[in-house]
Amino acid sequence: MKLKWIVLICVCLSLVLAPLKVDAKPSVSARNAVLMEQETGRVLYEKQAHEKRNIASITKIMTAIIAIESGMMDDTVETSKRAVYTEGSSIYLEEGEEMKLEDLVYGLMLRSGNDAAMAIAEHVGGSMEGFVHLMNQKAEWIGMNHSHFANPHGLDADGHYSTAYDMALLTRYAMENDVYKKIAGTTTYKSETRTYAWGNKNKLLTRLYDYSTGGKTGYTKTAGRTLVSTAEKDGMNLIMVTLNGPDDWNDHIHSFNWGFKTFEMRDLREEGEQSLDSTTGYLWNTVKAPLTEEEYKQVTTKTQIQKPSDYESFNSILGQAIFEVDGEVVATAPVMADPMRATQTKSFTQSVFSLFKEIIGAK
């Protein structure tokens, strides 16, 4: 009889504690990690996310986005001796071989070719050193304040480092580019100059995780296993970065599952009127943020009037709406002077951006 009571108590305890275990924050093997929601940039989970570390081949995300934005994707690149003899992973380029820059970027991202990285750098930047300068300029522009690049491939080198958080910022930026998004999410690709197809080394994308949309693997002895991956479910896009993670596949799967279960993209304010002190402004779009059910009940809103710059005066930006939960900013949105101007400005901005892409693509 006593044994039956013990069994019953254990069963009851397991039922009570099971949900707590599912909802608990992820426990990852990695030394450094961050889970970020893509639309807002909100950090949902972090572990020593701002520690500077060697990052190995996830460096190639920066190399890829610079190559894509260069407007040279249709260029034919001649492989140099320096590129061919770059150590580490390779797509087996030969000296003097010609390959389209687009194909090199696929070889860079899917097969992690260090030779491809060097060939890209020399063509786009004029030299490896010139390309590295572009990498550091881009990092500064994105806000990667604890990063510095010394090469385009990620082999260990003095002055080559980043953080889990900075790499999430980079990935968030890159995923706004449709070409990058397509390449990072490609499982196989055949170059015009190859008789066989390249398979993507990212196992989350190819077979381990149904919601995976892309990413980049990396490894050196010093850096350990590094991994950046992205996933989408129910309208929410997540970015996961781990550095020195011996069990990185599972780190990412468990973190994504936790994120998708715990948070939901919730509407904070519909597009339309927004009070701004003594005047009324307007929001371009519905403001959303990843929130738990409990957080959603605690959201507070405040507005902030900005001293207009010349650009903001032209666009009639009055200020911004700030959405917080317990003091943490979870979303911000610009407040426009009037709905007609907001619509015109939005259309004008989109038109200029489209024209710019056409001009760049035509080079």
In this predicted structure, what is the pLDDT of residue 56? Answer: 98
In this predicted structure, what is the pLDDT of residue 147? Answer: 98
User: Which has more pLDDT, 349 or 169?
Assistant: 169
- Given this structure, which CATH class describes domain 267-343? mainly beta
Q: Catalytic residue positions?
A: 57, 60, 112
Assess contact for 212 and 239: CB atoms under 8 A. no
Average pLDDT over residues 135-151: 98
pLDDT band at 321 (very low <50, low <70, confident <90, very high): confident
C-alpha Rg value of the chain to the nearest Å: 23
Question: Residue ranges for the binding site?
Answer: 216
What are the residues facing 125 on neighbouring strands?
A: none
Q: Where in the chain is the domain with CATH 3.40.710.10?
A: 32-262
Residue 168 has pLDDT above 80, yes or no: yes
In this structure, of 43-57, 155-169, 197-211, 321-335, the range with the lowest mean pLDDT score is: 321-335
In this predicted structure, what is the pLDDT of residue 362? Answer: 46
Q: Where in the chain is the domain with CATH 2.30.140.30?
A: 267-343
**CATH T-level topology, domain 32-262:** Beta-lactamase (3.40.710)
In this predicted structure, what is the pLDDT of residue 19? Answer: 39
166: Cβ–Cβ under 8 A, 6 or more apart, which residues? 139, 144, 145, 146, 147
pLDDT band at 328 (very low <50, low <70, confident <90, very high): very high
Within 10 A of 261 (CB to CB), how many other CB atoms are there? Answer: 12
- Mean pLDDT across the chain: 88
Tell me how far apart the alpha carbons of residues 115 and 108 are, in angstroms, rounded to a whole number. Answer: 8
In this predicted structure, what is the pLDDT of residue 339? Answer: 56
3-state secondary structure of 330: strand
Question: Residue ranges for the binding site for substrate?
Answer: 216
Whether the full predicted model's pTM is greater than 0.75, yes or no, is yes
Average pLDDT over residues 135-145: 98
User: Which has more pLDDT, 53 or 358?
Assistant: 53
Long-range contacts of 66-69 (CB under 8 A, 24+ apart): 66/124, 66/131, 66/134, 66/135, 66/138, 67/101, 67/104, 67/105, 67/108, 67/120, 67/124, 68/105, 68/177, 68/179, 68/180, 68/183, 69/177, 69/360
Tell me how far apart the alpha carbons of residues 91 and 7 are, in angstroms, rounded to a whole number. Answer: 59
Residue 21 has pLDDT above 50, yes or no: no
pLDDT band at 175 (very low <50, low <70, confident <90, very high): very high
Residue 318 has pLDDT above 90, yes or no: no
In this predicted structure, what is the pLDDT of residue 358? Answer: 55
User: 28-84 pLDDT, tens per residue?
Assistant: 999 999 999 999 999 999 999 999 999 999 999 999 999 999 999 999 999 999 999
pLDDT band at 271 (very low <50, low <70, confident <90, very high): confident
In this predicted structure, what is the pLDDT of residue 48? Answer: 98
In this structure, of 11-15, 31-35, 281-285, the range with the lowest mean pLDDT score is: 11-15
pLDDT band at 360 (very low <50, low <70, confident <90, very high): very low
In this predicted structure, what is the pLDDT of residue 306? Answer: 72
